[in-house]
Structure 1
Amino acid sequence: MDTRRLQLLLALSRLGSMRAVAEAHHLTTSTVSQQIAALAKDAGVDLVEPAGRRVRLTPAGRRLSDHAVTILAAVDAARLDLDPVAEPAGTLRVGGFATGIRVSLLPILADFAVSHPRVDAIISEYEPVEAFRLLVDDDLDLALVYDYNLAPASPNPALDTVALWSTPWGLGVRTDATAGDTADLRNYADAAWIVNSRNTADEDAVRTLAALTGFTPRIAHQIDSLDLVEDLILAGYGVGLLPVNRPARHGVSVLRLAEPAVVMTAYAATRRGRESWAPLRLLLDGLRPSSDEQRDWPRPPC
């Protein structure tokens, strides 16, 4: 099979239209269509089917695009082995939670703009459950995700994860409603609790903490933004988990939790076997902490 045609099929799986592929590869839409048709003839199966005024990959087309990633990565690895100075190139589809993108990803991409100008990225914000699903469906190349020690994630076996950094979380309360710097959860048994709106991990951690303390939490609010969680705490609408090492705004205190502690860990997740693709390998190498690095809440926080 012609690797150029495989590249176009892979681009179609990612970009969603012949026109977008044509624009990305500086070709005409007709040329892209002809190349995909030629690839279908080589493969002996239909690779695309009509979808309204556009086309979409058939199940066979999706399977071949999945193989194309491995094939093209192997070709790229061979090219780099024969020509170590060859410049990696490609577009990375990265999704993840806001803090992971802001403090772990963006500085690396800023360096890439100088050191690897032919590596580009498309970035989207997702919570872990969403990101894991998109990775499995091959709609992302890399996901920045997180879990809590009291609510560990269970990624699909087709995925690999690498721990990046960890940070303790505490209980966010109004400063005028507390004394000391350690939370006694029994004092908040009747409080309204604020949890994440798009991920259940922190709610699971809250319920576990409460069960160990002897009460059932009243989950009242579901909020995605940490800033908005602080707004609700300041307005007296409840309490919720917040990072201990993230500076809180005036009027909000983050109390440390006694045993069991709540620790959030951030991960880079990829589909198994994909890390050999040069742009993705470079990004993973940049994200991985060195053995002597402190794995804690990065600066600046969200």
Structure 2
Amino acid sequence: MDSRRLRYLLELARLGSMRAVADALGTTTSTVSQQIAVLGRETGAVLVEPEGRRVRLTPAGRRLAAHAVTILAAIEAAQADLDPGADPAGTVRVSGFATAIRRSLLPVAASLGESHPNVRLIMYEHEPAEALALLAGNDVDLALTYDYNLAPAVFDTGLAVTPLWSTPWGLAVPAGPRAPRDGDTPAVFRAFRRYDWIGNSRNPADERVVRTLSSMAGFEPRLTHEADSLDLVEELILAGFGVGLLPADRPARPGIRLLHLSGPEVRLRAYAVTRHGRSTWPPVTLLLHLLTGRLLE
């Protein structure tokens, strides 16, 4: 059915005559009659019947008019929802790594509920590859991902990528008098060449960074343990199971020393990623604005 013809039928049910419908819609009586006749052929039902010099809706016509109320309202709602200038409304599904959810998304979510109550967030914790797979499968609308300057991500051309923030990482080692000073990255790595190393169980980028820097220091790292939780990485270091990378802006636990790295620096870079078509949907546009606007606060 052509939804525009439903409008003629609905107005006939409301106004009672084709002349009144024509006046209300700015057309002719002949056009109203033709459009309702075509609608009857499209539905395979008789929608109107003569009543003296006028017409009235048949039982089938009344049922279709009742459906037309819901159908036309849904179409109008969809048009308003997709209008870039409309007030954002809808559910935005976000998948992201834990730090980005805590640092970027949760503060935005708190204010979003007050400023835009018609926008609802659903959050999932995933590492970048998992989040991007969900995005590709249309299971989420926005992915919060990261890479490292020494292990840059390659994004699909169909994705819109917005940089959010970055933070330096250092080498977390057991505290003690034998720990070297901060400084040249290869020299720092070389000092721990005989240690076991702790990688990330869900993202190979951490291992790529460790192997790249170890190669610069002239040795092959013994990557023995894997953990996704930063807390667990710290516990493994405290228990004497090795050394690993941790963010420099994270307070180190007693018993752990975080060695700052320079030449080259290790920097994690966070991104908000969505599909190009989805980035113009008002709720996603709003969320991207809020996520990037926090950089200006």
1:268 aligns with 2:280: no
1:76 aligns with 2:81: yes
- How many Å apart are 1:180 and its aligned residue? 2.5
1:231 aligns with 2:235: yes
Match of 1:286 among 274, 281, 290: 290
Which whole-Å deviations, capped at 9, do the CAs of 1:39-69 have from their partners, x for residues lacking one?
Answer: xxxxxxxxxxxxxxxxxxxxxxxxxxxxxxx
Q: Distance in 1 between the 2:198 and 2:79 partners?
A: 47
Quickly say closer, same or farther: Cα 1:73–1:171, change in 2 above 3 A. Answer: farther
- How many Å apart are 1:290 and its aligned residue? 6.6
Which runs of 5 or more residues in structure 2 are unaligned? Answer: 4-76
Q: Distance in 1 between the 2:288 and 2:82 partners?
A: 16
Partner of 1:149: 149
RMSD: 2.3
> Normalising by structure 1, what TM-score?
0.69
Contact 2:148 / 2:268 at 8 angstroms: preserved in 1?
yes
Which runs of 5 or more residues in structure 1 are unaligned? Answer: 4-71, 294-302
Contact 2:164 / 2:291 at 8 angstroms: preserved in 1?
yes
Q: What aligned pairs does 1:5-24 form with structure 2 within 5 A after superposition?
A: none
Contact 2:96 / 2:145 at 8 angstroms: preserved in 1?
yes
1:248 aligns with 2:264: no
> Normalising by structure 2, what TM-score?
0.70
Q: Distance in 1 between the 2:293 and 2:110 partners?
A: 18
Q: Distance in 2 between the 1:122 and 1:258 partners?
A: 38
Quickly say closer, same or farther: Cα 1:73–1:164, change in 2 above 3 A. Answer: farther
Partner of 1:189: 193
Contact 2:174 / 2:256 at 8 angstroms: preserved in 1?
yes
Partner of 2:127: 127
Q: Distance in 1 between the 2:214 and 2:80 partners?
A: 53
Contact 1:151 / 1:205 at 8 angstroms: preserved in 2?
yes
Aligned partner of residue 288 in structure 1, secondary structure: helix
- How many Å apart are 1:181 and its aligned residue? 3.1
- How many Å apart are 1:246 and its aligned residue? 1.2
Q: Distance in 2 between the 1:148 and 1:93 partners?
A: 25
Contact 2:180 / 2:191 at 8 angstroms: preserved in 1?
no
1:180 aligns with 2:178: no
Q: Distance in 2 between the 1:144 and 1:290 partners?
A: 15
Which whole-Å deviations, capped at 9, do the CAs of 1:108-141 have from their partners, x for residues lacking one?
Answer: 1110111111111111100001111111111110
Contact 2:160 / 2:279 at 8 angstroms: preserved in 1?
no
Amino acid paired to 1:181: D
Q: Distance in 2 between the 1:146 and 1:273 partners?
A: 22
Q: Distance in 1 between the 2:179 and 2:79 partners?
A: 59
Contact 2:81 / 2:89 at 8 angstroms: preserved in 1?
no
Contact 2:100 / 2:270 at 8 angstroms: preserved in 1?
yes
Partner of 1:158: 158
Amino acid paired to 1:239: V
Partner of 1:47: none
Larger gyration radius, structure 1 or structure 2? 2
Partner of 1:208: 212
Identity %: 53
Quickly say closer, same or farther: Cα 1:74–1:272, change in 2 above 3 A. Answer: farther
Amino acid paired to 1:233: I
Equivalent residue pairs, number = 221
Q: Distance in 1 between the 2:194 and 2:124 partners?
A: 37
Amino acid paired to 1:190: R
Q: Distance in 2 between the 1:92 and 1:153 partners?
A: 24
Which whole-Å deviations, capped at 9, do the CAs of 1:192-214 have from their partners, x for residues lacking one?
Answer: 00011000011000000011111
Partner of 2:60: none
- How many Å apart are 1:291 and its aligned residue? 7.2
Amino acid paired to 1:201: A
